[in-house]
Amino acid sequence: AQSVSQHNHHVILSEAASLELGCNYSYGGTVNLFWYVQYPGQHLQLLLKYFSGDPLVKGIKGFEAEFIKSKFSFNLRKPSVQWSDTAEYFCAVNAFSNQGGKLIFGQGTELSVKP
């Protein structure tokens, strides 16, 4: 079965620190990869996505992610976090199958940024 694993459940950083959140998936075929962010009390918003092409993807608010096919990974990065980045971050995979465009989500990583 397809699965998505996020290694860090809770990350605490100070402002201006660099961020890297890990995401690994288990599926050997073609995948689309996503990072969503959920600010406190809000719905999920798309940060960035990878379908094909350049494996380094840039998203909104200074976030980027790198797809490394050989490692089945899609880690999220930001060089310098801000207090406003405090949120929960979800990695998701859309594995091509005959079951529609279903997303498989990781468990989420809660990021707390201290001012």
Binding residues vs other proteins (CB under 8 A):
4, 9, 32, 34, 36, 42-46, 49, 51, 90, 92, 94, 99-103, 105-108
Question: Could you tell me which of 21, 37, 5, 14 has the C-alpha nearest to residue 112?
Answer: 14
Instruction: Work out how close the CB of 33 gets to other proteins at its nearest, in angstroms, rounded to a whole number.
Output: 11
Phi-psi region of 69 (alpha: psi -120 to 50; beta: other; left: phi over 0): alpha
Cα(83)–Cα(93) distance, integer angstroms: 27
Closest CB to other proteins among residues 70, 99: 99
Closest CB to other proteins among residues 1, 70: 1
Q: Cα separations (Å) of 67 from 42, 73, 83, 91?
A: 27, 6, 26, 12
93 sits in which H/E element: strand 87-95
Q: Tokens 């880690």, residue? A: 75
Closest CB to other proteins among residues 17, 22: 22
Instruction: Work out how close the CB of 80 gets to other proteins at its nearest, in angstroms, rounded to a whole number.
Output: 27
Instruction: Work out how close the CB of 23 gets to other proteins at its nearest, in angstroms, rounded to a whole number.
Output: 11
Closest CB to other proteins among residues 16, 46: 46
Instruction: Work out how close the CB of 58 gets to other proteins at its nearest, in angstroms, rounded to a whole number.
Output: 16
